[in-house]
Amino acid sequence: MVRKRERENPCYVCGHYHKFEDGEVCGVCGHRLQDAGEKGPLDTPSAFATEILPSFLYLGSYDNASRAELLKAQGITRILNTVPTCQNLYKNSFTYKTIKEDQTLPFDDCSEFIEQSRTENARVLVHCMSGQNRSPAVVIAYLMRYKKWRLAESYQWVKNRRPSINLSSAVGEQLQLYEANVFGPTISHTPMVPSESGLGFNFGFPATTPGTTAVFSTSSSPSSSSSFLSFSQGNGSADQSSFVFRAARQEVGAGNVNSMDSAMDSS
């Protein structure tokens, strides 16, 4: 005899049956409904991929990429895997592209795959292990190439939507070189702006864009509690010629990744 369901109504977020009002974790997708008093999405990473461009471009982690039901619920049909050692789990359900390079990210190749998805009205997820380093760098590169947004604009756009991104210096330097490649060799890199109040971005984005500002600092030893994009000019030494691109909005736990994430996402 079939046992009667313990609940009559499924969770209104993930659609599965679990005691979501009590904060119970869904046994199918891992979703948990947070109380209003809880601090925010960074405490418990969302089971859903982050929407970067409406109904088109999504950013996430390997955990997000492993949840086929939620990917389908978001309408995602293509997946760009930026970590060579990450397995593609659902080859019969999604169209995959996997980066083969472990050190240098092929920004042009990745951007073309993303743009092809857009022209074919397909939704695409870009992921790495933690969703904090390699995959956001690829998304930022795409925005520079096809949206023609400078590095600072592109970084801030992604940071506003996924505050946990934490680019390594190696990836940051690759993005800086790519910016010069996209906009021409004579153009300067993302500049330092010596302003105590920071530089507020307003590049004609929709009015709903979060009011986060970007702060440029000449400090060579930024606080470990903030997510930052650190570039080194000249000989690459950590002196007064280096600068830090830091999001002004601080989130607890934004830079925390486990040891596997750090190893997989370090390049």
Q: Are residues 171 and 136 in the same domain?
A: yes
Residue 31 burial (C-beta neighbours within 10 Å; 0-12, 13-18, 19+): buried
Who contacts 105 (Cβ-Cβ below 8 Å, separation ≥6)?
Answer: 82, 99, 134, 137, 138, 141, 171, 174
Select from 227, 229, 230 the least CA-distant residue to 257: 227
If pLDDT is split at 50, 70 and 90, which confidence band does 43 have? very low
pLDDT in tens, 98-156: 999 888 999 999 999 999 999 999 999 999 999 999 999 999 999 999 999 999 999 99
Q: Are residues 104 and 154 in the same domain?
A: yes
Residues 17 and 141 reside in one and the same domain: no
Q: Distance between CA 61 and CA 264 in Å, rounded?
A: 11
| Number of Cβ atoms within 10 Å of the Cβ of 129 | 25
Chain centre distance of CA 173: 17
Count the domains in the chain.
Answer: 2
Predicted pLDDT of residue 103: 85
Residue where a domain stops, chosen among 169, 188, 207: 188
Q: At residue 264, does pLDDT exceed 90?
A: no
Provide the percentage of residues in the chain whose pLDDT is more than 70.
56
Same-domain status, 16 and 76: no
Angstrom distances, CA of residue 122 to CA of 46, 113, 142, 158, 178 = 22, 11, 16, 20, 26
pLDDT for 40: 46
Task: Give the C-alpha separation, 19 to 196, whole Å.
Answer: 48
86 catalytic per annotation: no
Residue 151 belongs to domain with CATH number: 3.90.190.10
Domain of residue 166, residue span: 50-188
Catalytic pick among 11, 14, 86, 128: 128
My answer on whether 31 and 115 are in the same domain is no
Instruction: Provide the pLDDT confidence category of residue 172 given band limits of 50, 70 and 90.
Output: very high
Task: Please say which residue of 130, 162, 188 terminates a domain.
Answer: 188
pLDDT at 266: 47
Q: Give the pLDDT of residue 247.
A: 39
Which pLDDT tens digit goes with each residue over 58-112? Answer: 999 999 999 999 999 999 999 999 999 888 999 999 999 999 988 899 999 999 9
Model confidence at 56, in pLDDT bands (50, 70, 90)? Answer: very high
In a domain? residue 97: yes
C-alpha to C-alpha distances, 199 to 47, 129, 136, 143, nearest whole angstrom: 33, 31, 22, 20
Q: Are residues 56 and 127 in the same domain?
A: yes
pLDDT at 160 over 80: yes
Task: Convert the pLDDT of each residue in 189-227 to its tens digit.
Answer: 554 332 233 333 322 333 333 333 333 322 233 333 333
How confident is the model at residue 11, as a pLDDT?
Answer: 65
Is there a domain that residue 150 lies in?
A: yes
Quickly state the pLDDT bin for 14 (edges 50, 70, 90): low
20 pLDDT band (50/70/90 cuts)?
Answer: low
- The answer to whether position 243 is within a domain reads no
Contact criterion met (CB below 8 Å) for 88 and 81: yes
pLDDT value at 181 more than 60: yes
Do residues 27 and 116 both lie within one domain?
A: no
